[in-house]
Structure 1
Amino acid sequence: MFFFKKNKLQLSSLFENGYHDIHNHLLPGVDDGAADSATTKNLFEKMEQLGITSCVMTPHIMSQVWENTKTGLTDTFNSLKKESYFEGKNIHLGAEYMLDDQFRNHLQQGPLLTIKDDFLLIEMSYHHPPLQLFDFLFELQVEGYRPILAHPERYNFYHGRMEDYKKLKKAGCLFQLNLLSVTGYYGFPVAKTAELLLSAGLYDFSGTDIHHDRHLDAFSNPIRIKKQELLQPLLSNNMLLKK
């Protein structure tokens, strides 16, 4: 039923008509993405060559790992925007919030760094979901946010548990596909889960989750899932989040 499609269509071909990326780690020196502004420039140049012409930078905010703050990230972003290369570029600042023991503090201190308006990118540990997951989702929405869960296909503890994914959707959680997942970049189980979620119509948006050159190089890999036609609407949906 799934895997592997023999068609050699490259993932990068999806960007021929332009693409707005809502998940990446281009902001320099703040997490496990770009180390400095020169790296950011190099990555963004290559993204533009692929057809990714605008983006929201979404650095990690994660306790005990990437102790970023809204003020610090905003200062870094504003400094980047002043560099001659980035003048006039369609780039914006958001964040990827880990649902951890400090998340409620961030929420209470708000406002949070959103993708656009009330759309907020969140993630979970790859080891297990937070015990307060549904409390977090409820509190976010009470505060007026619309949570977008980054790369749900990569949480192995949900693999084979479609009812859990549907429960998250019913709780008001939107889903963002990591595009590299459909090339098999993260392995067969992730690609299979991505196609299951695509087939069930559970995804809302897409993102590159680019951290480094290896991710960019992988966009030349072929799409390995069968239902490739289900991907284009997710790219189009991203335009709704363009500032």
Structure 2
Amino acid sequence: MFSFFKKKKEAKYNFNRIQVDMHSHILPGIDDGAPTVKESIMLVRRLMDLGFNKLIATPHIMADYYRNTPDTIHNALDELREELEKQNIQIPVEAAAEYYLDETFERKLDAGNLLTLGDNYLLFELSYINYPNNLKDIIQKMNDKGYKPILAHPERYPYLYASLESYQQVKEYGCYFQLNTISLSNHYGKQAQKVAENLVENMMVDFLGSDMHHLRHADSLQKSLQTTAVEQLLSDDYSLYNELLK
């Protein structure tokens, strides 16, 4: 995949163009993101400096590592909101989740009560190692139950790298793509960056997310604003974000 995108010297836009960051791990102490509310506040401030004026936290829900529930997530959200109010930091923060497609996900789907974004968008992620053989069926089931599936960071799954057609096939199953903006700054390496750029070139990106875990991600997010690919994304009409601002 050859990239036509080159880095720019100065950023033309900031993230005020899309207003909302819809994928982050800024809630304190419940996954591999901010370990304390103090670190949460630091990440929130950095996101505000980059132009965001609404944040949707999406903690991991994974059977083997992060067994979060709506209760644990809402408790952490309350803790962060209380600290934001205490420090008079004016930004709305909401919470959904990033669901890992493991052996428990289908049971959660059957049970309902999933944490979604905006108009019933459901953020999910895959294994970085193995292609899930049931991916088509699971995406179909999410749609059948009234959810709008969003695949998190498709540029980070090496088994999809072989061709653009592999991505097109997944989209045809019936899901949106959410790109990690920092992939365009080479944060995850050259291969992920090239794939991300190719998805941008082919207009396959539906949502941008910071996937913020720590301050190094904030630095990479700032760096990404200097790339032509991000400038192209921020200059496009992203009407889908309006559904996340409600």
Scaled by the length of structure 1, what TM-score is found? 0.91
Secondary structure (helix, strand or coil) at the match of 1:26 reads: coil
Deviations 1:78-111 (A, max 9, x none): 2332332377531101100001101012112222
> 1:238 aligns to what?
241
CA distance, structure 1, for counterparts of residue 116 and residue 162 of structure 2: 31
Q: CA deviation at 1:198?
A: 1.2
Structure 2 CA distance for partners of 1:111 and 1:126, relative to 1, 3 Å: same
For 1:129, the aligned partner's letter is Y
Q: CA deviation at 1:52?
A: 1.5
> 2:10 aligns to what?
9
Structure 2 CA distance for partners of 1:224 and 1:43, relative to 1, 3 Å: closer
Scaled by the length of structure 2, what TM-score is found? 0.90
> 2:161 aligns to what?
159
> 1:220 aligns to what?
222
Conserved? CA contact 1:21–1:56, under 8 Å = yes
Conserved? CA contact 1:140–1:147, under 8 Å = yes
CA distance, structure 1, for counterparts of residue 90 and residue 226 of structure 2: 36
For 1:81, the aligned partner's letter is R
Q: Does 1:28 align with 2:28?
A: yes
RMSD of aligned Cα (Å): 2.2
Return 5+ residue gaps in structure 2 as ranges: none
- The one of 134, 140, 143 aligned to 1:141: 143
CA distance, structure 1, for counterparts of residue 230 and residue 37 of structure 2: 35
CA distance, structure 2, for counterparts of residue 237 and residue 26 of structure 1: 23
Conserved? CA contact 2:27–2:33, under 8 Å = yes
Return 5+ residue gaps in structure 1 as ranges: none
> 1:131 aligns to what?
133
- The one of 70, 92, 97 aligned to 2:99: 97
Q: Does 1:112 align with 2:109?
A: no
Secondary structure (helix, strand or coil) at the match of 1:171 reads: helix
CA distance, structure 1, for counterparts of residue 62 and residue 88 of structure 2: 27
Q: CA deviation at 1:237?
A: 3.9
CA distance, structure 2, for counterparts of residue 88 and residue 4 of structure 1: 36
> 1:57 aligns to what?
57
Conserved? CA contact 1:206–1:234, under 8 Å = no
> 1:78 aligns to what?
78
Structure 2 CA distance for partners of 1:219 and 1:228, relative to 1, 3 Å: closer
Deviations 1:45-91 (A, max 9, x none): 12112211211000000111111112221222123323323775311
Conserved? CA contact 2:121–2:147, under 8 Å = yes
For 2:23, the aligned partner's letter is H
Secondary structure (helix, strand or coil) at the match of 2:204 reads: coil
Report the count of equivalent residues. Answer: 242
Conserved? CA contact 2:14–2:50, under 8 Å = no
